[in-house]
Amino acid sequence: MTHTLDIFKKMDHYGPEKVLAVSDPKTGMKGVLVIDNTARGPGKGGCRMSPNLTIDEMARLARVMTWKWAIVDFKYGGAKAGICNDPNSPNKEEIIRAFVKALHKYIPSEYVFGLDMGLNENDAAIVVDECNDISASMGTPPELGGIPYDQLGAAGFGAKESARIAMELKNMDVKDVTVSIQGFGALSNAAASFLSEAGATVVAISTVEGVLHDQNGLDIPRLLELYEIYGDSAVHHYNGGKLIGLGEELLLDVDVLILGAIQDVLHKDNADMVKANIIIEGANMPTTKEAEDMLFSKGKLIVPDIVANAGAVIAAAIGMDARNSCMRPDPEVVYDLITCKMEQNVTRVIEEAFSKKIKTRDAAMEIARERVVRAMQFRGNKNISL
C-alpha cells in the first residue's frame, strides 16, 4: 500500500475522523480503514481487496460514501476500507480475519463492514464469524440474514432507474433509446439486462478484453449466458457485432452512456468527444471535474455517482433493517424502495440543477452537505455552517 502524507492536506471540517492503518506480519496483511464522517450514523462503505491500493484512494471513496448515504437519506455515515493483498491468495481467510481482528474495536460500532471488489458474501460471513456479531457486515449470505445484492442486481437496477427518470424528464421514450455501457461486471450487466427488458437498444458493452458493438442492438440475455461461462472473454465468443478498441464505447453516437467500471474514465482529453446526451455515473468517480465542466457546457445531462449508483446502498440498508427485525424482504420490496428513492433523488437533483443553472453534481452536493451539516450541528459542532 502506498502511504502518503497528502491525506493531511485534504482533511477538512467534514473529516476524515479516523484513518487507521493496520498490519499483521504473520499473515502479511496490510490494510486501512478510513472513517470519514459519522454525524448521521456509523460509517458504512465496502471493503476492497487488491494489491494496489492507496490511503488517498480510500479517503476519496470514504468521502463519496458520506455524501451517498446523505443523498439517499439513510442514517449511516461515510467510510471505506481496503486490504492491500491479493484476493486470490490461498490464505485469504486468514488475511481477512487478521484485518478484522486488528479493527475489532471499531466494527460495527463505528464501521459496518461491506463488500467491494475482491470480496464476496463468503468473506462477509468470515467477518461476522470473527466479530461474533451478525451486525458486523452487510452482504452476508442469505443463511446469515443477508440480501443477495448481486443476484437482485440492485446496483444495476438503480442505474437503470436513474436512466429511466432522466429520459422521462427529457421526454425520451426508453423504447427509442440507444445505450452504450462501459463495463460488464455486476452493476453493468444488471443495468444492461434491466434496460434491455424495458425496450432500450443496448449497442455496446465492454470488458477488459475489448468492446463489443452492434448498432442494431446486442443480445443481452445471450451475452449474460456467455459471461457466466467465459467471464471477460465473453466478448470473443459472441456470434455477431464487432470488437472495437477499449475506450471507444465512451464516444459512440448513442442517447445514453452508462459508466459502470472504474474511476476517471472521462477526462479533459476525451470528454469533448462524448456524443451521448445522458450520462449515468454507475461507477464511483468515473468523470473528472474538468470533464464534468466540459460536458455541462455542452448541455449534457449527468446523473452523478452519489445519486446514480445508490441502488446497492439502498438495498444494503434494507438488508440491515430486515436483519434487525428478523424479517427477510421480498425482492419486489427492494426494487420498489430503490425506485421510490431514485424517483425522489434523481428528479430533485435534476430539477434543482435546471432551475439554478448549475451542474447536477453541485445540486446533489448541496442537498447532501445540508443534511450532513445539520447532523453535525445537532451533535454540538457549532463551528460548521453551510
Q: For residue 272, is pLDDT > 50?
A: yes
Write out the three cell numbers for 316. 444494503
Q: Rounded distance, CA 295 to CA 274, Å?
A: 8
Whether 36 contacts 55, CB under 8 Å: no
Which stretch, 151-155, 315-319, 341-345, has highest mean pLDDT?
A: 341-345
pLDDT band (50, 70, 90) for residue 321: low
Class of domain 6-67+77-144: alpha beta
Angle between the N-to-C axes of helices 331-356 and 360-378, in degrees from 0 to 180, rounded to the nearest 10? 110
Write out the three cell numbers for 347. 428528479
Distances (CA, A) of 344 to 62, 307, 329, 347: 24, 10, 21, 6
pLDDT of residue 2: 46
CA 362 to chain centre: 19
9 flagged as catalytic: no
pLDDT band (50, 70, 90) for residue 327: low
Name the catalytic one among 30, 44, 68, 80.
80
Write out the three cell numbers for 220. 443481452
Considering the domain 147-386 in this protein, what is its CATH number?
Answer: 3.40.50.720
Going by C-alpha positions, the residue among 78, 95, 98 that lies closest to residue 86 is: 95
Whether 70 contacts 41, CB under 8 Å: no
Q: What is the mean pLDDT of residues 265-283?
A: 95
pLDDT band (50, 70, 90) for residue 382: confident
Q: Rounded distance, CA 300 to CA 284, Å?
A: 19
Whether 153 contacts 193, CB under 8 Å: yes
CATH topology of 6-67+77-144 equal to that of 147-386?
yes
Average pLDDT, the chain: 90
Q: Rounded distance, CA 61 to CA 65, Å?
A: 6
Going by C-alpha positions, the residue among 369, 363, 364, 359 that lies closest to residue 289 is: 359
Q: Rounded distance, CA 125 to CA 142, Å?
A: 10
Q: What is the mean pLDDT of residues 294-315?
A: 92
Q: What is the dihedral of CA 363, 273, 235, 282, to 10 degrees?
A: 0
Write out the three cell numbers for 328. 427477510
Percent of the chain with pLDDT over 70: 93
pLDDT of residue 380: 85
Q: What is the dihedral of CA 160, 162, 164, 166, to 10 degrees?
A: -150
Write out the three cell numbers for 199. 425496450
> Any idea how long the chain is?
386
Q: What is the mean pLDDT of residues 16-22?
A: 95
- Residue corresponding to grid cell 472495437: 244
Angle between the N-to-C axes of helices 360-378 and 55-72, in degrees from 0 to 180, rounded to the nearest 10? 90
Task: Read off the amino acid at residue 376.
Answer: M
Q: For residue 236, is pLDDT > 70?
A: yes
Whether 34 contacts 47, CB under 8 Å: no
Q: Where are the domains of the chain?
A: 6-67+77-144, 147-386
